[in-house]
């Protein structure tokens, strides 16, 4: 199903799966039982040291994802390899279905693309709020999903956003470290709360205008409405974000854009940078 080239002398399959990729015990056991790892079509001993340049073949049964495909994929594919897709989610579109009749989400469109190209598995690694547009990482097989999930948890996938906020931040850069929880008085709103979930956002001002400024923001965590809540907490809500006390704009909406994803690709052994600007 895919190939991986050993990049250091002496690495074993066991080392690769357990230590380098840090896969869970269940998936490692399943790969072993399925004899999923071969070299030139022959089974490989998992504890034998391998020479640099050895090409491992991985072949295993991939489950089908449950997303119902749209008639055609209309989301833009910004990057693709055999392990993942990065798509540009449009503003106003949900990342994934929340109900069985919700069939026009980004993942429904992604599944249409996957099936049109002979596949049947796609799972998003993170999510974007419905009102946020931009880059979304999607895994194309379960090993990739497991590794990318861990990378998100360990903050090694750098997610950069752009937003125009009300007022001018006093400092050119900074960090907001403030836990976020649900607003007891509003079903969808979030608030900074000492009893909420840990949340960290880094910001940098890139342009200043009269009454507003444009900031680039990097997420360490991925809480619901995190950037919106943290900017409002600083007293600088995103322009047009009336849920968080910004002034209403002519469009009646706010603009938050996921403009870049950067990570060390676990299968290609290179830095991958994808932009949506």
pLDDT at 253: 85
List the structure tokens of 269.
Answer: 């052994």
203/224 same-domain check: yes
pLDDT at 11: 93
pLDDT at 255: 87
129 labelled catalytic: yes
Best CA proximity match to 265, nearest among 140, 109, 134, 120: 140
253/165 same-domain check: yes
- Under a CB-based contact definition with an 8 Å cutoff, are residues 13 and 37 in contact? yes
Residue at a domain's end among 114, 134, 154: 154
Q: Report if pTM > 0.85.
A: yes
List the structure tokens of 120.
Answer: 């049947």
Q: DSSP 3-state assignment of 93?
A: coil
Kind and range of the H or E run holding 166: strand 158-166
Model pLDDT for residues 163-215, shown as the tens digit of each residue: 999 999 999 999 999 999 999 889 899 999 999 999 999 999 999 999 999 99
112/175 same-domain check: no
Best CA proximity match to 39, nearest among 28, 29, 51: 51
72/8 same-domain check: no
Burial of 247 per CB tally in 10 Å (0-12, 13-18, 19+):
exposed
- Residue 250 forms part of a structural domain: yes
List the structure tokens of 273.
Answer: 């940078």
Give the torsion sign (CA, 59, 61, 64, 70). Answer: positive
Model pLDDT for residues 2-59, shown as the tens digit of each residue: 999 998 899 999 999 999 999 999 999 999 999 999 999 898 999 999 999 999 999 9
- Residue 248 forms part of a structural domain: yes
Which residue range(s) make up the domain with 77?
62-154
Catalytic annotation, pick one of 15, 81, 129, 253: 129
Query: Is pLDDT of 1 > 90?
Result: no
Composition of the chain by helix, strand, coil, percent to 5: 20, 35, 50
């Amino acid at each position: 199903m895919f190939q991986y080239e050993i990049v250091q002398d002496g690495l074993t399959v066991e080392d690769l799966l357990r230590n380098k990729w840090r896969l869970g015990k269940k998936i490692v056991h399943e790969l072993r039982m399925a004899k999923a790892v071969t070299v030139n079509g022959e089974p490989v001993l998992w504890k034998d040291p391998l020479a640099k340049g050895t090409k491992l073949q991985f072949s295993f049964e991939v489950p089908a994802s449950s997303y119902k495909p749209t008639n055609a994929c209309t989301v833009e594919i910004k990057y693709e390899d055999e392990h993942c897709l990065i798509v540009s989610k449009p503003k106003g579109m949900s990342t994934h279905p929340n109900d069985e009749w919700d069939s026009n989400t980004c993942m429904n469109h992604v599944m249409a693309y996957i099936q049109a190209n002979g596949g049947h598995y796609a799972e998003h690694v993170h999510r974007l709020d419905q009102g946020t547009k931009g880059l979304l990482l999607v895994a194309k097989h379960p090993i990739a999903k497991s590794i990318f999930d861990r990378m998100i948890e360990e903050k090694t996938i750098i997610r950069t956003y752009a937003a125009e906020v009300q007022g001018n931040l006093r400092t050119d850069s900074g960090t907001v470290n403030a836990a976020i929880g649900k607003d007891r008085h509003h079903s969808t709103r979030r608030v900074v709360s000492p009893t909420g979930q840990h949340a960290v956002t880094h910001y940098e001002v890139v342009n200043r205008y009269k009454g507003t400024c444009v900031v680039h923001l990097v997420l360490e965590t991925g809480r619901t409405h995190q950037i919106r809540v943290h900017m409002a907490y600083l007293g600088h809500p995103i322009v047009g974000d009336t849920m968080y006390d910004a002034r209403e704009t002519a469009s009646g909406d706010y603009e938050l854009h996921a403009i870049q994803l950067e990570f060390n690709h676990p299968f290609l052994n290179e830095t991958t940078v994808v932009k949506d600007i």
